[in-house]
């Protein structure tokens, strides 16, 4: 497992790796990745904002007034992708994910995936 302290020295690289992993998982499950992605890192929270995620089929359903069906299907996919996304975050950060939250918006076309990480334990003998 990667050293979380080493990962923190290169937050830009970690953010890029996380965004790439999330995009790859989405593409694997839906056949299409988002047009934009950005990762926000905090001590115990990672959030990935994805834009341009609607598929052609979803756009057709929305045009036909079936937005709730699209959102319902997306919630189902979130449940299916959950384990792969959590495993990817844990592998990249070397930290345990204690909660995964995800939601979608149709207008604007935005998806957010957030991962709450277990707190880092202080090394033995570190009193600072």
pLDDT in tens, the chain (128 residues): 444 444 444 789 999 999 999 999 999 998 888 999 999 999 999 999 999 999 999 999 999 999 999 999 999 989 999 999 999 999 999 999 999 999 999 999 999 999 999 998 766 665 55
d(CA 128, CA 116): 24
* Domain segments of the chain as ranges: 4-117
Helices and strands per DSSP (H, E), number in the chain: 4, 4
Distances (CA, A) of 123 to 2, 5, 120, 127: 16, 11, 9, 9
**Looking at residue 5, what is its pLDDT?**
45
């Amino acid at each position: 497992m990667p050293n979380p302290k080493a990962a923190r020295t290169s937050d830009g690289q970690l953010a890029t790796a996380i965004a790439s992993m999330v995009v790859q998982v989405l593409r694997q499950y839906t056949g299409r990745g988002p047009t934009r992605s950005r990762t926000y890192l905090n001590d115990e929270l990672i959030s990935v904002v994805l834009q341009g995620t609607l598929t052609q089929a979803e756009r057709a359903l929305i045009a036909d007034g079936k937005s709730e069906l699209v959102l319902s299907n997306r919630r189902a996919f979130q449940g299916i992708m959950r384990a792969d996304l959590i495993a990817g975050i844990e592998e990249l950060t070397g930290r345990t994910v204690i909660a995964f939250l995800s939601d979608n918006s149709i207008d604007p076309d935005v998806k957010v995936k957030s991962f709450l990480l277990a707190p880092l334990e202080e090394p033995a003998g570190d009193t600072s």
